[in-house]
A and B are shown apart, each in its own frame.
Chain A
Amino acid sequence: MKVHLSHPTRDVVIQGPKRVADIFKELNLIPEAFLIIRGQDLMTEDETVADGDSIEIRPVISGG
């Protein structure tokens, strides 16, 4: 699957299918600080991303 990340903007490829919770673990990210978006839809941590899918992991933290 193709994973789009921000801050800094980059794309990484991860072997799927994989649960959202496991993607967070693999990338060492705290779920509280991100949303996972497939197309225009949010995904919950128990959902599975297929190998051919493209997802965005969007940071939600802002401000200085």
Chain B
Amino acid sequence: MRCRKCPKRAVLGLPRHNTAFCGDCLTEFLRTQVQRAIKAQQMFSPEDRILVAVSGGKDSLTLWEILLKLGYRVDALYVDLGIPGYSSRSKEKVEQFAKLVAEPCGSQLTIHTVEEDAGAGIKELANLIKRPTCSACGTIKRYQFNRVAWQNHYDVMATGHNLDDEAARLLGNVLQWQEEYLQKQSPSLPASVEGFAKKVKPLYRMTEREIAAYAVVNRIDYLVEECPMAKGAKMLVYKDALNRLEAESPGTKQRFYWGFLDRQEKSSSVAPSMSEIDQTTLQPCIVCRQPTTAVTCSFCRMMARAKTAVK
């Protein structure tokens, strides 16, 4: 198979675009997709300071690399969850990338260690408060990324969520008719109230396969291993179902998620915006001051329960 843009050998076929690219043309194509996403969703400008949430996996390290290559002002935050073995291997990948790729560009890595803050790793903590590990992990990561972005005056916080993530999440929300979550599925969420950082997903136009191919072509050394806590997760079932549909009809995931975004945009003139809803439903947590719908935010409630359980 030949590259559709130059005479070189193709390294990846992209059936949903009915094309194939060599390594250089794939790199250029995918960076353009990210630039297009940033512009279309008004995510940030070259003057803005961006904080990328990194995990050591292909998505977040690729996002960090692409934003640096595109010339944005970007730093990164890694949350060390304290999962035996897995966390040390993922941290090693992040630190290695920071040293070899990011720091020479003036980009800094911050590490937050859950055990130092909570007195226990994520699995132990989830056991203490009797919650699923992935649920406790989500609460901690969302809280810490927002806290660091807000306290350090970053203009925007970026995550490596891709087209597969968003299509799978949409499928899950539609299957359960969780309408209240649908509005939060935008690739660009505003800093709707005091205490919330703006959140964006610049990789939403790219599939996991395209991102993994970009990482291989550009020698980004990421952790291939899956988080041991994610085994059996519902999201993986949704992703598998969507990939089976994609194999039969290329472009299914894109039509599903982008079609949803088009409908969301059309309805935005009649429905109240997320900012309007947040401003009427959120208030500062009495412990940490981060916005919450309750008196105390879910993170502070979780930490209080963990402390009680230890006693």
Contacts and interface: CB of A to CB of B under 8 A. Distances in A.
A59 B243 CA distance: 12
A37 interface: yes
A52 B229 CA distance: 37
A44 B240 contact: no
B225 A63 contact: no
B234 to A, nearest CB: 9
B12 A64 contact: no
Contact of A42 (B59, B217, B219, B243): B217
Which size bracket describes the interface of A in this complex? Answer: 20 to 34
B109 interface: no
A6 to B, nearest CB: 6
Interface string B139-156: 000000000000000000
Majority secondary structure, B binding face: helix
Interface string B224-264: 11110110010110011001101100000000000000000
Nearest to B210: A60
Nearest to B16: A32
Nearest to A33: B243
Interface residues on B, range: 35 or more
B236 A64 contact: yes
B12 A32 contact: no
A12 interface: no
A64 B225 contact: no
Contacts of B247: 30-32
B225 A35 contact: no
B244 A62 contact: no
A60 B212 contact: yes
A47 to B, nearest CB: 7
B31 interface: no
Given A33-B243, A42-B216, A62 B13 contact: no
Contacts of A26: none
Interface in A1-40: 6-7, 30-35, 37, 40
A-B complex: 3 closest residue pairs judged by Cβ atoms: A64-B230, A64-B233, A60-B212
28 contacts: A7-B226, A30-B240, A30-B247, A31-B247, A32-B207, A32-B209, A32-B243, A33-B239, A40-B219, A42-B11, A42-B216, A43-B11, A44-B1, A44-B20, A45-B1, A46-B1, A58-B212, A59-B226, A60-B208, A60-B209, A61-B236, A61-B243, A62-B57, A62-B58, A63-B233, A63-B235, A64-B235, A64-B236
